[in-house]
Amino acid sequence: KAGVTQTPRYLIKTRGQQVTLSCSPISGHRSVSWYQQTPGQGLQFLFEYFSETQRNKGNFPGRFSGRQFSNSRSEMNVSTLELGDSALYLCASSHSGHSSTDTQYFGPGTRLTVL
Amino acid sequence: KNQVEQSPQSLIILEGKNCTLQCNYTVSPFSNLRWYKQDTGRGPVSLTIMTFSENTKSNGRYTATLDADTKQSSLHITASQLSDSASYICVVRKGGSYIPTFGRGTSLIVHP
């Protein structure tokens, strides 16, 4: 079974631009979560989608948004990029996400650099 | 404030040696605690998960322990291998909440 895939793997943008990241979950997984990882803050939860609906949201500004399609693929968008948005963005999928013990499978991440 | 603290921040050991990583948390109410291994340039991979009633869980050479009374967990790696070089992240879930609280991780380097 193919793992979680994320595209692109690397991205360089300038301040003020917007960016869209893509995530394809493991086949059959319906829950997709997004995380931001930085050296200073570590891993932080952005949001979780299930059946095309945002089910949980972390403490990030509205510039960070996402969506999920009917095939469970998900996209994350960051508008008006700031230098502090430079990070590794990780996507993780799980079967349903209903149980807190559901195992999440992470993709390799998208490394975003904002200049 | 719900927090997860890991120690040490980094650790260097020789191949074949054992080591123990620590995780202290204040998350309450507690639901479960998971240890992840993250290789450089890759996403985290789950090693073990423990709920309130479990105090030890093994996965090959990795053994995690949990003391829910003192809110402490440890990850013991036996007979380390070069491939164990990675960041180890402790994650705690609060009861009734989906949102996890992550530790900053321990960076482990295994030297030949």
Closest CB to A42: pick one of B51, B93, B105: B105
Share of chain A above pLDDT 70, in %: 96
Q: Are A35 and B43 in contact (CB under 8 A)?
A: no
For A28, left (φ over 0), alpha (ψ -120 to 50), or beta? Answer: left
- Over 90: is that where the pLDDT of A101 sits? no
pLDDT of B2 reads: 63
Out of A33-37, A99-103, B22-26, B49-53, which region has the weakest mean confidence (pLDDT)? A99-103
Q: Is A5 in the B-facing interface, judged by CB distances under 8 Å?
A: no
Q: For residue A57, what is the nearest residue in chain B, using CA coordinates?
A: B99
Neighboring chain B residues of A106 at a CB cutoff of 8 Å: 42-45
Query: pLDDT tens-digit profile of A59-71?
Result: 999 999 999 999 9
CB contact (8 A) between residue B32 and residue A101: yes
DSSP element (H, E) containing B67 = strand B62-67
Count CB pairs under 8 A between chains A and B.
42
Closest by CA position to A6, among listed A21, A19, A18 = A21
CB contact (8 A) between residue B102 and residue A101: no
User: Across-strand partners of B93?
Assistant: B32, B100
Q: How confident is the model at residue B1 (pLDDT cuts 50, 70, 90)?
A: low
Measured CA to CA in angstroms, residue B105 lies from A77, A106, B66 at distances of 27, 16, 17
In angstroms, the CA A48 to CA A53 distance is: 8
- Over 90: is that where the pLDDT of B43 sits? yes
Neighboring chain A residues of B44 at a CB cutoff of 8 Å: 43, 90, 106
| DSSP type of residue A80 | S
